Amino acid sequence: MSKVFKFGGASIKDVESIKNVSEILFSHKNDDLFIIFSAMGKVTNMLEDVLDKYVNHSSETSYLLQKVKDFHYSILDNLFEKEEQIYNDVNNLFVEIEWVLEDDPNENYDYDYDQIVSIGELISTKIMSSYLNKIGFKNIWIDARDIIKTDNTHRFAKVNWSITEKSILSVKSEFPKITQGFIGCTSENFTTTLGREGSDFSAAIIGYCINATEVVIWKDVDGLLNSDPRYFENSELLEEIPFTEAVELAYFGAKVIHPKTIYPLKRKSIPLFVKSFISPNNKGTIIKNDVEITPLIPSYIVKENQILISISDINLSFIVENHLSEIFNVLSELNISVNLMQNSAASFSICIDNNKKRVSKLIKILNESFNVYFNDDLTLFTIRHYDEQAVDLVLKGKKLILEQKSRNTIQIVVKQ
């Protein structure tokens, strides 16, 4: 009965929540556990800020790093005595960041990103492992860089499944294992990361490789809901859903599960539970093969800060295949994913995230060959299993800009 548990930043954001997670773990002390932690609280964002200041040679760099240190040391001071080894361990990890900061930024921003931002997970797992050992939950700390092997696409590293599987299977311990989400390592021993929110995916990788009987991701919500409670009142729990449906929700942007998490588990039929670390005794959501969505109700996904770009031929003729391939080449070069697209006689429209830097590059390039118009400050709603009432709810008080329907999904672009 091997289980993989993954705890995100919100579950270990302060002393009280760390104690709560420890209680959850104690209640599973007879299980064969592989435990994955993200960085604590908002530490990944804080480290991204440190990196941005550093690459811009800003004098605020060390001030921002100090904030990350203060955050962790205040947690340490509440959980440990000053002479305990963990202070040295955490110190040494901060020294690794300081070494990077002493040199000039690398030409490859993504490389520096991985060296600095990965430290958040290394620190959180060191703290959790030490604290749990101290209070009697014996465990071993594992460096994810020894087991998750990737290529050298820094910041978006691709997993080398065969070496990873071998490495994970070589870990032997009678105690629960604690390791980092989000990070991996190249064959040349350089640290990589798997993309923001990648710890869910790490849990799936490990679950897949050890043939876990289940993977549980512990969240600050009751499970997978039919909408993001930050945007919708009355979000309802989806008790059971098939992997195929979870993939759709994650693909359209439901922010609760990293989209890559699903496939490895689906392939080996390993059930994925989404459970609340606030109410750990509640059932949560189970995602697995061969179940019906229960209850079958509309699910809502919101993407804010969208821009709709309409592209037409300079000679006012149709947008034809070779135009489309030119447009898609530009999109792929700029790493832009399309959230929705629509073609008409006169123009081809795409709705994308309005990432200012990339979008202005895109518009500049497209302007060389096409007429380009855009409409920004938009929101894209996707509703799975929609009905009239669900659509009315989303449209209330907003201006409809574009709508696209299939049997199970409707996508609606609106201006607030």
Return residues touching Mg ion (CB under 5 A): 8, 197
The Cα-based distances of 145 to 70, 190, 192 in angstroms read 26, 9, 8
Task: Tell me if 225 contacts ligand ADP by CB under 6 A.
Answer: yes
Residue ranges of alpha helices (H) inside 188-235 are 199-209
Rounded Cα distance between 46 and 147, Å, is 26
Closest C-alpha to 204, from 196, 192, 216, 187: 216
Task: Tell me if 390 contacts ligand ADP by CB under 6 A.
Answer: no
Q: Between helices 109-117 and 119-134, what is the axis angle to 10°?
A: 10
- What is the chain's alpha carbon radius of gyration, rounded to the nearest angstrom? 23
Rounded Cα distance between 416 and 414, Å, is 6
Asked whether the beta carbons of 403 and 413 are under 8 A apart, the reply is yes
Closest C-alpha to 246, from 286, 203, 306, 210: 286
Least Cβ distance, residue 8 to Mg ion (angstroms): 5
* Touching ligand ASP, residues 64-93 (CB under 6 A): none
**Residue 181 site contact among ligand ASP, Mg ion, ligand ADP, none (CB < 5 to 8 Å, cut-off depends on kind):** ligand ASP
Task: Tell me if 8 contacts ligand ASP by CB under 6 A.
Answer: yes
Dihedral pair phi/psi, residue 368, rounded to 5°:
-70, -30
* Touching ligand ASP, residues 353-382 (CB under 6 A): none
- The SS3 of residue 311 is strand
Q: Whose Cβ is closer to ligand ADP: residue 184's or residue 319's?
A: 184
Query: Of residues 57, 82, 172, 230, which one binds ligand ADP by CB under 6 A?
Result: 230
Least Cβ distance, residue 251 to ligand ADP (angstroms): 13
Query: Of residues 4, 5, 9, 246, which one binds ligand ASP by CB under 6 A?
Result: 9
Query: Of residues 44, 125, 192, 411, which one binds ligand ASP by CB under 6 A?
Result: 44
* Touching ligand ADP, residues 243-262 (CB under 6 A): 254-256
Rounded Cα distance between 14 and 167, Å, is 32
Q: Near ligand ADP by CB under 6 A, which window of 14-22, 147-155, 219-227, 325-333? A: 219-227
**Which token pair is 349?**
């429209």
Q: Whose Cβ is closer to ligand ASP: residue 124's or residue 347's?
A: 124
Task: Tell me if 228 contacts ligand ADP by CB under 6 A.
Answer: yes
First CA to last CA across the chain, in angstroms? 49
* Touching ligand ASP, residues 114-133 (CB under 6 A): 120
Residues that bind ligand ASP (CB under 6 A): 8-9, 38-39, 44, 120, 181-182, 196-199
Residue numbers at the binding site for ligand ADP (CB under 6 A): 8-10, 38, 197, 219-221, 224-225, 227-230, 254-256
